[in-house]
Every structure is written in C-alpha cells, then in structure tokens.
Amino acid sequence: MDKALEALLKNPSFAAAIRRGEQRKLQVLSQPDMLTASEVATKLGMSVEAVLAHRSSLKILGLPIGNGAFAYPEWQFASGMPLPSLQLLTRMLNDDPWAAYFFLSEPLEALGGMLPYEAVTAGRANEILLMVQGIQEGGVL
C-alpha cells in the first residue's frame, strides 16, 4: 500500500465517510423493493442461472449482500424487462453496481427532480448516458 493511501485511511474524516457509505448500503439493502435472484427469475420468466448471467454481464443490476448473494432493485424491471442501457451505464461507472444504483436512484436537478432510472424507462437513455459521460469528464450535475 502506498503512503498516500495509508495516510488517507488513517484520516478520521475519511474513515467516517467510509462508515456512512457502508451504513447507506445497509439501508438500501433492507428496503422492501429489493428482490432475490429467484424473484427476478419469476418476474422476467427466465431461469435463476440466466438472472445470474445477466447480473454478471451487468445487464441486470445486482448489489452484493455477502456470501456471493445479490439483491436486485425492483425499479429496474418497471417495464417488465431489464432497464435499457444498464450494461453500458454501469461500465461507464467503472463496472461498479453501487455507483450505478446511487446514480440511477437519486433525483437529479438536471432532470427536473426526476430519477434517472425513470428517465431511462421513459426513453431518455441517451440523455442519461451523456450525463454520465459529462461526469467522467469532470463535470457536475
């Protein structure tokens, strides 16, 4: 581990931020709209193995809950299908399902307070992908 990272990990503010992030993840995972792989399979009419393959390829958003298990936010299946462009969006966010979850599920002022996943479902996936690209290039929303 390099010295800069060691110093950061010893910083009390950084440690507190890490704890807050972990607490927020636990809150998300305890929400009633989180589905199991079996529930997703039933909802989409596919096998659990297909759900796992879709999660592994980032076509379905699965949040790790430990022991190799995942929780699946129900909102990504609002249209009865996986959320369009989810794979590309997650890849743009460094293949991080948590980054994709938080980006898609928080209202954005740039969307008039709309949730990005709602905008994607409404056919505005390209607009959302451009926003992610802008963030990557150092912009803010």
Listed by start position, the domains of the chain span: 1-30, 34-136
CB atoms < 10 A from the CB of 91, how many? 13
User: In this predicted model, what pLDDT tens digit does every residue of 111-137 receive, in sequence order?
Assistant: 999 999 999 999 999 999 999 988 778
The whole-model pTM stands at 0.81
pLDDT (mean) for 48-63: 96
User: Residue 83 in contact with residue 61, Cβ under 8 Å?
Assistant: yes
Give residue for tokens 């704890």.
Answer: 19
Would you say residue 89 has pLDDT above 60? yes
Q: Does domain 34-136 have CATH number 1.10.8?
A: no
Would you say residue 109 has pLDDT above 80? yes
User: Residue 125 in contact with residue 87, Cβ under 8 Å?
Assistant: no
CA angle 139, 140, 141 (to 5 degrees): 130
- Which pLDDT belongs to residue 66? 85
Strand partners, 63: 71
